[in-house]
Protein backbone atom coordinates (compact mmCIF):
# COMPACT_ATOMS: atom_id res chain seq x y z
CA UNK A 1 0.00 0.00 0.00
CA UNK A 2 1.25 3.46 -0.81
CA UNK A 3 1.73 5.67 2.16
CA UNK A 4 2.87 9.17 2.96
CA UNK A 5 6.56 9.93 3.02
CA UNK A 6 9.04 12.59 1.99
CA UNK A 7 12.43 12.24 0.33
CA UNK A 8 15.29 14.61 -0.35
CA UNK A 9 17.76 14.04 -3.16
CA UNK A 10 20.73 15.62 -4.85
CA UNK A 11 21.89 15.17 -8.42
CA UNK A 12 25.29 13.50 -8.63
CA UNK A 13 26.63 16.57 -10.48
CA UNK A 14 25.70 18.53 -7.30
CA UNK A 15 23.82 21.16 -9.31
CA UNK A 16 20.28 20.43 -8.13
CA UNK A 17 18.63 19.58 -4.86
CA UNK A 18 15.07 18.25 -4.79
CA UNK A 19 12.36 17.16 -2.38
CA UNK A 20 9.22 15.17 -3.15
CA UNK A 21 6.39 14.27 -0.80
CA UNK A 22 3.18 12.32 -0.78
CA UNK A 23 0.89 13.85 1.85
CA UNK A 24 -2.53 12.37 1.00
CA UNK A 25 -3.15 10.75 4.39
CA UNK A 26 -1.90 13.74 6.40
CA UNK A 27 -4.13 16.13 4.46
CA UNK A 28 -7.05 13.73 4.80
CA UNK A 29 -6.46 13.66 8.54
CA UNK A 30 -6.53 17.49 8.59
CA UNK A 31 -9.72 17.55 6.52
CA UNK A 32 -11.47 15.24 8.97
CA UNK A 33 -10.14 16.97 12.09
CA UNK A 34 -11.16 20.44 10.93
CA UNK A 35 -14.13 19.46 8.76
CA UNK A 36 -12.84 21.71 6.01
CA UNK A 37 -14.87 22.49 2.89
CA UNK A 38 -13.12 21.78 -0.45
CA UNK A 39 -11.42 25.12 -1.06
CA UNK A 40 -10.26 25.26 2.57
CA UNK A 41 -9.02 21.66 2.24
CA UNK A 42 -7.07 22.58 -0.88
CA UNK A 43 -5.51 25.66 0.74
CA UNK A 44 -4.71 23.98 4.06
CA UNK A 45 -3.47 20.85 2.26
CA UNK A 46 -1.09 22.86 0.09
CA UNK A 47 0.16 24.74 3.15
CA UNK A 48 0.69 21.49 5.10
CA UNK A 49 2.56 19.98 2.15
CA UNK A 50 4.65 23.13 1.71
CA UNK A 51 5.37 23.10 5.44
CA UNK A 52 6.62 19.52 5.19
CA UNK A 53 8.99 20.55 2.40
CA UNK A 54 10.35 23.54 4.35
CA UNK A 55 10.61 21.34 7.44
CA UNK A 56 12.57 18.73 5.50
CA UNK A 57 15.32 21.23 4.67
CA UNK A 58 16.08 22.25 8.23
CA UNK A 59 18.55 20.55 10.50
CA UNK A 60 17.49 17.83 12.89
CA UNK A 61 15.84 19.12 16.02
CA UNK A 62 14.55 22.19 14.24
CA UNK A 63 10.94 23.07 13.75
CA UNK A 64 9.38 25.44 11.27
CA UNK A 65 6.17 27.37 11.11
CA UNK A 66 4.52 28.59 7.97
CA UNK A 67 2.05 31.40 8.39
CA UNK A 68 -0.15 32.62 5.56
CA UNK A 69 -2.00 35.77 6.50
CA UNK A 70 -4.38 36.82 3.75
CA UNK A 71 -7.31 39.18 3.38
CA UNK A 72 -9.49 36.54 1.68
CA UNK A 73 -12.28 34.57 3.40
CA UNK A 74 -9.90 31.87 4.72
CA UNK A 75 -8.11 34.56 6.76
CA UNK A 76 -5.08 32.77 8.15
CA UNK A 77 -3.38 29.40 7.74
CA UNK A 78 -0.81 28.23 10.25
CA UNK A 79 1.30 25.11 9.85
CA UNK A 80 4.03 23.60 12.04
CA UNK A 81 6.34 20.95 10.69
CA UNK A 82 9.65 19.36 11.53
CA UNK A 83 12.48 17.40 9.93
CA UNK A 84 10.88 14.13 11.06
CA UNK A 85 7.93 14.57 8.69
CA UNK A 86 5.47 15.53 11.42
CA UNK A 87 3.03 18.25 10.51
CA UNK A 88 -0.01 19.97 12.00
CA UNK A 89 -2.01 23.00 11.00
CA UNK A 90 -5.27 24.85 10.78
CA UNK A 91 -7.12 27.50 8.88
CA UNK A 92 -9.05 30.30 10.65
CA UNK A 93 -12.16 29.77 8.59
CA UNK A 94 -12.42 26.07 7.67
CA UNK A 95 -15.92 26.09 6.22
CA UNK A 96 -16.08 28.78 3.59
CA UNK A 97 -18.34 28.27 0.58
CA UNK A 98 -17.21 26.90 -2.72
CA UNK A 99 -15.08 29.31 -4.67
CA UNK A 100 -14.29 28.27 -8.21
CA UNK A 101 -12.26 30.09 -10.79
CA UNK A 102 -13.05 30.47 -14.49
CA UNK A 103 -11.57 27.05 -15.25
CA UNK A 104 -14.00 25.48 -12.77
CA UNK A 105 -11.21 24.66 -10.32
CA UNK A 106 -11.13 25.43 -6.63
CA UNK A 107 -9.92 29.01 -6.40
CA UNK A 108 -7.35 28.93 -3.61
CA UNK A 109 -5.89 32.30 -4.66
CA UNK A 110 -9.19 34.06 -4.15
CA UNK A 111 -9.83 32.24 -0.87
CA UNK A 112 -6.40 33.28 0.47
CA UNK A 113 -6.36 36.82 -0.95
CA UNK A 114 -3.52 39.29 -0.59
CA UNK A 115 -1.19 39.35 2.36
CA UNK A 116 2.01 37.80 3.65
CA UNK A 117 3.77 34.47 3.88
CA UNK A 118 6.04 34.17 6.88
CA UNK A 119 8.37 31.29 7.64
CA UNK A 120 9.87 30.87 11.08
CA UNK A 121 12.60 28.36 11.83
CA UNK A 122 13.05 27.55 15.46
CA UNK A 123 16.28 25.96 16.59
CA UNK A 124 15.13 25.96 20.19
CA UNK A 125 18.29 27.77 21.27
CA UNK A 126 18.84 31.13 19.58
CA UNK A 127 16.37 33.66 18.23
CA UNK A 128 14.26 31.99 15.56
CA UNK A 129 15.05 32.84 11.95
CA UNK A 130 12.11 34.66 10.34
CA UNK A 131 11.56 35.41 6.67
CA UNK A 132 8.51 37.12 5.24
CA UNK A 133 7.39 37.90 1.70
CA UNK A 134 4.21 39.39 0.26
CA UNK A 135 1.86 36.84 -1.29
CA UNK A 136 2.37 37.16 -5.03
CA UNK A 137 -0.44 34.83 -6.10
CA UNK A 138 -2.19 33.23 -3.12
CA UNK A 139 -1.88 29.82 -4.80
CA UNK A 140 0.74 28.97 -2.13
CA UNK A 141 3.18 27.05 -4.39
CA UNK A 142 4.08 30.25 -6.29
CA UNK A 143 4.30 32.10 -3.00
CA UNK A 144 6.71 29.55 -1.57
CA UNK A 145 8.76 29.68 -4.77
CA UNK A 146 8.97 33.44 -4.34
CA UNK A 147 9.91 33.04 -0.67
CA UNK A 148 12.83 30.69 -1.43
CA UNK A 149 14.09 32.87 -4.25
CA UNK A 150 13.66 36.20 -2.50
CA UNK A 151 14.11 35.51 1.19
CA UNK A 152 16.62 32.64 1.03
CA UNK A 153 18.25 33.70 -2.26
CA UNK A 154 17.94 30.19 -3.67
CA UNK A 155 16.35 29.94 -7.12
CA UNK A 156 13.62 27.33 -6.68
CA UNK A 157 10.47 25.83 -8.11
CA UNK A 158 7.69 24.48 -5.92
CA UNK A 159 4.67 22.39 -6.92
CA UNK A 160 1.85 21.64 -4.48
CA UNK A 161 -1.41 19.88 -5.20
CA UNK A 162 -4.50 18.61 -3.42
CA UNK A 163 -7.30 16.72 -5.12
CA UNK A 164 -10.59 16.77 -3.21
CA UNK A 165 -13.08 13.97 -3.81
CA UNK A 166 -16.85 14.43 -4.19
CA UNK A 167 -17.38 13.11 -0.65
CA UNK A 168 -15.07 15.93 0.63
CA UNK A 169 -12.23 13.53 1.48
CA UNK A 170 -8.78 13.94 -0.04
CA UNK A 171 -8.06 11.78 -3.07
CA UNK A 172 -4.45 12.82 -3.49
CA UNK A 173 -2.02 15.36 -2.09
CA UNK A 174 1.65 15.98 -2.55
CA UNK A 175 4.35 18.32 -3.63
CA UNK A 176 7.87 18.89 -4.79
CA UNK A 177 10.67 21.40 -4.56
CA UNK A 178 13.70 21.74 -6.78
CA UNK A 179 16.52 24.19 -6.12
CA UNK A 180 19.47 25.36 -8.15
CA UNK A 181 22.72 24.99 -6.29
CA UNK A 182 25.45 27.60 -6.88
CA UNK A 183 27.26 25.55 -9.56
CA UNK A 184 24.20 24.91 -11.73
CA UNK A 185 25.10 25.25 -15.41
CA UNK A 186 22.99 26.77 -18.18
CA UNK A 187 22.37 23.28 -19.64
CA UNK A 188 21.12 22.05 -16.27
CA UNK A 189 18.79 25.01 -15.94
CA UNK A 190 17.26 24.60 -19.38
CA UNK A 191 16.86 20.84 -18.94
CA UNK A 192 15.14 21.43 -15.61
CA UNK A 193 12.82 23.96 -17.20
CA UNK A 194 11.80 21.36 -19.78
CA UNK A 195 11.13 18.83 -17.05
CA UNK A 196 9.07 21.31 -15.04
CA UNK A 197 6.96 22.13 -18.08
CA UNK A 198 6.13 18.41 -18.40
CA UNK A 199 4.70 18.23 -14.89
CA UNK A 200 1.22 19.61 -15.32
CA UNK A 201 -0.31 18.56 -12.03
CA UNK A 202 1.42 17.07 -9.03
CA UNK A 203 -1.86 15.86 -7.51
CA UNK A 204 -2.67 13.98 -10.74
CA UNK A 205 0.68 12.15 -10.48
CA UNK A 206 0.00 11.23 -6.85
CA UNK A 207 -3.48 10.07 -7.79
CA UNK A 208 -1.98 7.82 -10.45
CA UNK A 209 0.00 6.19 -7.65
CA UNK A 210 3.44 7.63 -8.34
CA UNK A 211 5.81 7.43 -5.38
CA UNK A 212 8.01 10.38 -4.35
CA UNK A 213 10.95 8.61 -6.10
CA UNK A 214 8.97 8.36 -9.31
CA UNK A 215 8.07 12.03 -9.08
CA UNK A 216 11.76 12.89 -8.73
CA UNK A 217 12.51 10.73 -11.78
CA UNK A 218 10.22 13.02 -13.78
CA UNK A 219 11.46 16.21 -12.16
CA UNK A 220 15.13 15.24 -12.55
CA UNK A 221 14.77 13.41 -15.87
CA UNK A 222 18.14 13.34 -17.62
CA UNK A 223 20.07 13.71 -14.35
CA UNK A 224 21.48 11.05 -12.06
CA UNK A 225 20.45 11.56 -8.49
CA UNK A 226 20.79 10.01 -5.09
CA UNK A 227 18.19 9.99 -2.33
CA UNK A 228 19.85 11.41 0.78
CA UNK A 229 17.03 11.17 3.23
CA UNK A 230 13.59 9.66 3.68
CA UNK A 231 11.02 10.19 6.44
CA UNK A 232 7.47 9.01 7.05
CA UNK A 233 4.93 11.81 6.98
CA UNK A 234 2.11 12.16 9.44
CA UNK A 235 -0.31 14.70 10.82
CA UNK A 236 0.71 14.86 14.45
CA UNK A 237 -0.22 17.39 17.08
CA UNK A 238 1.82 18.24 20.16
CA UNK A 239 -1.11 19.06 22.39
CA UNK A 240 -1.92 17.11 25.53
CA UNK A 241 -4.02 17.65 28.64
CA UNK A 242 -1.21 19.31 30.62
CA UNK A 243 -0.37 21.81 27.90
CA UNK A 244 -4.00 22.71 27.41
CA UNK A 245 -4.43 23.04 31.20
CA UNK A 246 -1.49 25.46 31.21
CA UNK A 247 -3.26 27.40 28.48
CA UNK A 248 -6.40 27.50 30.64
CA UNK A 249 -4.51 29.12 33.52
CA UNK A 250 -3.28 31.83 31.16
CA UNK A 251 -6.91 32.99 30.91
CA UNK A 252 -6.67 34.07 34.54
CA UNK A 253 -8.43 32.67 37.58
CA UNK A 254 -11.45 35.00 37.43
CA UNK A 255 -12.13 34.24 33.81
CA UNK A 256 -11.90 30.48 34.37
CA UNK A 257 -14.26 30.62 37.34
CA UNK A 258 -16.73 32.67 35.29
CA UNK A 259 -16.74 30.06 32.52
CA UNK A 260 -17.08 27.28 35.07
CA UNK A 261 -20.06 28.98 36.68
CA UNK A 262 -21.78 29.65 33.38
CA UNK A 263 -21.15 26.32 31.67
CA UNK A 264 -20.43 23.89 34.48
CA UNK A 265 -17.14 22.98 32.82
CA UNK A 266 -14.31 24.53 30.86
CA UNK A 267 -13.85 23.29 27.34
CA UNK A 268 -10.78 24.22 25.33
CA UNK A 269 -10.12 23.13 21.81
CA UNK A 270 -6.66 22.79 20.35
CA UNK A 271 -6.44 25.05 17.29
CA UNK A 272 -4.06 22.75 15.49
CA UNK A 273 -5.95 19.44 15.69
CA UNK A 274 -9.38 20.54 16.92
CA UNK A 275 -9.36 18.07 19.79
CA UNK A 276 -11.54 19.15 22.67
CA UNK A 277 -10.31 19.04 26.27
CA UNK A 278 -12.84 19.32 29.08
CA UNK A 279 -12.16 20.27 32.66
CA UNK A 280 -14.76 19.95 35.41
CA UNK A 281 -14.79 21.86 38.68
CA UNK A 282 -12.49 19.39 40.43
CA UNK A 283 -9.98 19.52 37.53
CA UNK A 284 -10.04 23.30 37.57
CA UNK A 285 -9.35 23.49 41.30
CA UNK A 286 -6.39 21.17 40.80
CA UNK A 287 -5.06 23.21 37.90
CA UNK A 288 -5.40 26.50 39.78
CA UNK A 289 -3.78 25.08 42.89
CA UNK A 290 -0.92 23.71 40.83
CA UNK A 291 -0.37 26.97 38.94
CA UNK A 292 -0.16 28.83 42.29
CA UNK A 293 2.40 26.30 43.48
CA UNK A 294 4.45 26.76 40.34
CA UNK A 295 4.50 30.52 40.71
Site residues (vs Zn ion, CB under 5 A): 237, 239, 270, 272-273
In the complex, least distance from residue 140 CB atom to Zn ion, rounded to whole angstroms: 22
How far does CA 67 lie from the centroid of its chain? 9
Query: Residue 222 phi/psi, 5° resolution?
Result: 95, -10
Q: Tell me the CB-side half-sphere exposure of residue 12, using CA atoms within 13 A.
A: 6
Using an 8 Å Cβ cutoff, are 258 and 248 in contact? Answer: no
User: Least CB distance from residue 28 to Zn ion, whole Å?
Assistant: 17
Query: Is the CB of 215 or the CB of 270 nearer to Zn ion?
Result: 270
Strands 63-70 and 76-82, by their bridges, are antiparallel
Q: What are phi and psi of 171, to 5 degrees?
A: -80, -40
- 11/80 with CB nearer Zn ion: 80
- For residue 240, the minimal CB distance to Zn ion (Å) is 8
Q: Least distance in Å: CB of 139 to Zn ion?
A: 27
CB 88 within 8 Å of CB 235: yes
Q: Considering the complex, state which of residue 48 and residue 106 has its C-beta at the smaller distance from Zn ion.
A: 48
* CB neighbour list of residue 46: distance below 8 Å, 6 or more residues apart: 108, 139, 140, 141, 160, 161, 162, 175
90/225 with CB nearer Zn ion: 90
CB of 138 to Zn ion, least distance (A): 27
Least Å distance between CB 65 and Zn ion? Answer: 14
217/276 Cα distance (integer angstroms): 43
Of the pair 239, 256, the CB lying nearest Zn ion is at 239
Q: How far is CA 175 from CA 7, 97, 291, in A?
A: 11, 25, 44
- Of 62, 68, 21, nearest to 44 (Cα)? 68
Q: Alpha-carbon distance 6 to 22, whole Å?
A: 6
Q: Which CB, 8 or 29, lies closer to Zn ion?
A: 29
Distance CA 225, CA 202 (A): 20
Pick the closer one to Zn ion by CB: 26 or 273: 273
Least gap, CB of 275 to Zn ion (angstroms): 5
Amino acid sequence: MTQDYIIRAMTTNKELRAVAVRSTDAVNHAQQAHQTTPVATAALGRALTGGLIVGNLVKSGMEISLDIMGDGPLKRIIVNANYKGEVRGYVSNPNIDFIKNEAGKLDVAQAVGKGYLTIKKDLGIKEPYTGSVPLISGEIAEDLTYYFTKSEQTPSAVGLGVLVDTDLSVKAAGGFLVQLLPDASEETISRLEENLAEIKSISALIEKGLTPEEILEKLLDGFEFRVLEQADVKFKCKCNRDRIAALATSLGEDEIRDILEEQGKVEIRCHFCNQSYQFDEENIEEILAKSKEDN
